[in-house]
Amino acid sequence: MTLHCPSCGSDSTQKLSLFVRSGTFSAQSDTIGAGAGGGHLGLAIASTKTKTSSHAAKEHAEPIAQPVLGPLAGVAFIALMIWIFWAAIPAAVLIGLGALGAASILHDNLTKLPQRHRDWMQKFICLRCATVFEPKP
């Protein structure tokens, strides 16, 4: 398998998944605080999670599933408002269209996403010219 860039010929290449991982930083912080005032004692606990990515890591990020419930909930809310303030039939049609859209997104997530993920895992990136390519055997 040749790992030379097809655009510039450089052998300075890296697996795309490792490139993205190296440009992503995650941190978690847990804080506990206590205090007293006015004759009362207070206790607070906070947890913070942060994930930052370089522009290049975001651009070449792993394919993810599209959200299904968010758009469906939005359509259902609009349909409810139509039903309350106007008529039930347009609301029912809108709910049906929303359900069809959600089913289409879910179908794509279950059928196309695994192949997109496999394709992404096979790709490399040239560290000289940023060309993303799949190595030839």
- The answer to whether the Cα torsion of 22, 9, 130, 109 is positive or negative is negative
| Domain range annotation of the chain | 13-25+50-133
Q: What is the pLDDT of residues 24-81, one digit of tens each?
A: 888 999 988 888 888 888 888 899 999 898 998 898 888 888 887 777 777 777 777 7
- Which of the four pLDDT bands, split at 50, 70 and 90, describes residue 134? very high
pTM (whole model) above 0.85: no
Nearest to 75 by CA among 54, 59, 90: 90
Q: What is the pLDDT of residues 76-115, one digit of tens each?
A: 777 777 777 777 667 677 777 778 888 888 899 899 999 9
Rg (CA), the chain: 24
To the nearest 10°, the Cα dihedral for 101, 106, 112, 113? Answer: 130
Tell me which residue has tokens 């510039």: 8
